[in-house]
Amino acid sequence: MALDKRSIALLYRKRAKRYNFSANAYYLLGFMEFAYRNIGVEALNLKKGDTVVEIGCGTGLNFSLLRKQVGPNGNIIGVDLTPEMLEEADKRIRRNGWQNVTLVQTDAAVYPFPEQIDGIISTFALTLVPEYNRIIQKGAAALSLGARFVIVDFKKPDKWPMWMIKLFVTLTRPFGVSLDIANRHPWESIDRYMTTAKFRELYFGALYLCVGEAI
């Protein structure tokens, strides 16, 4: 059964201090998480000085990649539900001396996006949020013309046997993944509110990259 919002928050509160280690441990399974994050950030097509919002920023694993794109004069806004995850993100910010990263602790479903922003990204987070459609609708309305909303997330592989799907769910359950969230299709919301510029399956169909452009 898919976790409710309270359970998700509790899960990530407990995992916050170990999150970076556990995410990197998936490299042992051939799950190249950082590479997929990089693919997502590059798909934003950001330029120096841009403002980008990350939904479900967690401990800030994407911040260094985003900062390479927007530079020191751009702005990165990290939004997350869990204070403990943002505490780890703040440590990362202070450790690197970044002056252009702002953290917002709130439910993404009620987050008021700034107007005319240059990009929105969510990696391995949006599918966990029941109100993903509302978030995408609001985000699409906040983007400047032609700006991009990029999602990298889990999906049910079309060609995997069920035993492999259940094994993958078991391996990713520590991050809140369950078979029930396979019924959530954020890429359909992208198609509803934006122009879908790209949809690409990753990791043998267990992940996807979806890129929407504001119209």
CATH of the domain at 199: 3.40.50.150
**187 vs 74: CA distance, rounded Å:** 27
Q: What length is written for the chain?
A: 215
pLDDT single digits (tens) 53-111: 999 999 999 999 999 999 999 999 999 999 999 999 999 999 999 999 999 999 999 99
pLDDT at 30 > cutoff 70: no
**Which residues, 6+ apart, have CB-to-CB distance to 186 below 8 Å?**
126, 127, 132, 133, 136, 151, 153, 210
Count the alpha carbons within 13 Å of 48 in the hemisphere toward its beta carbon.
Answer: 3
pLDDT at 9 > cutoff 90: no
pLDDT single digits (tens) 146-198: 999 999 999 998 888 888 878 876 776 666 666 777 888 999 999 999 999 99
pLDDT of residue 34: 76
pLDDT single digits (tens) 113-131: 999 999 999 999 999 999 9
Enter the DSSP assignment of 107: -
pLDDT at 11 > cutoff 90: no
- pTM comes to 0.87
Tokens 């602790």 identify what position?
105
pLDDT of residue 148: 98
Number of domains observed in the structure of the chain: 1
Q: Dihedral of the CA atoms 13, 17, 21, 23 (nearest 10)?
A: 20
Q: What residue numbers bound the domain in which 129 lies? A: 5-213
pLDDT of residue 25: 46
